[in-house]
């Protein structure tokens, strides 16, 4: 069991670091000398990011709680 935990920790730390780095790179798009965009473009970008983030979070929480099912009326 500890091997699965250490694998999760190692892989998740690596993947989250890559995601954070990619998100920070989005900030580079704010340089108006090189890029042109409007509020709708930003809304579309973050709508997709938030949608996918929510989907993955729900999936991970669902998998984590699958053993906690109990009958309720």
Q: Is residue 46 in some structural domain?
A: yes
Secondary structure letter of residue 43 according to DSSP: H
**What pLDDT digit, counting tens, does each position of 23-65 carry?**
999 999 999 999 999 999 999 999 999 999 999 999 999 877 7
Q: Is residue 55 in some structural domain?
A: yes
**What pLDDT digit, counting tens, does each position of 17-31 carry?**
999 999 999 999 999
The answer to pTM > 0.85 is: no
Q: Is residue 60 in some structural domain?
A: yes
pLDDT, position 73: 76
Q: Is residue 49 in some structural domain?
A: yes
Q: Is residue 57 in some structural domain?
A: yes
Q: Could you give the number of structural domains in the chain?
A: 1
pLDDT at 68 over 70: no
Task: Please tell me the number of Cα atoms within 13 Å of 69 on its side-chain side.
Answer: 4
Q: Is residue 62 in some structural domain?
A: yes
Residue numbers of the domain that contains 42: 38-66
Dihedral angle computed from the Cα positions of residues 14, 16, 21 and 25, in that order, rounded to the nearest 10 degrees: 140
Q: Is residue 33 in some structural domain?
A: no
Secondary structure letter of residue 64 according to DSSP: H
């Amino acid at each position: 069991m500890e091997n699965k935990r250490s694998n999760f920790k190692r892989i998740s730390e690596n993947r989250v670091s890559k995601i954070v780095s990619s998100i920070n790179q989005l900030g580079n798009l704010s340089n108006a000398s090189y890029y042109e965009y409007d509020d709708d473009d930003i809304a579309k970008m973050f709508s997709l990011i938030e949608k996918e983030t929510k989907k993955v979070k729900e999936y991970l929480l669902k998998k984590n709680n699958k053993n906690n099912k109990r009958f309720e009326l």
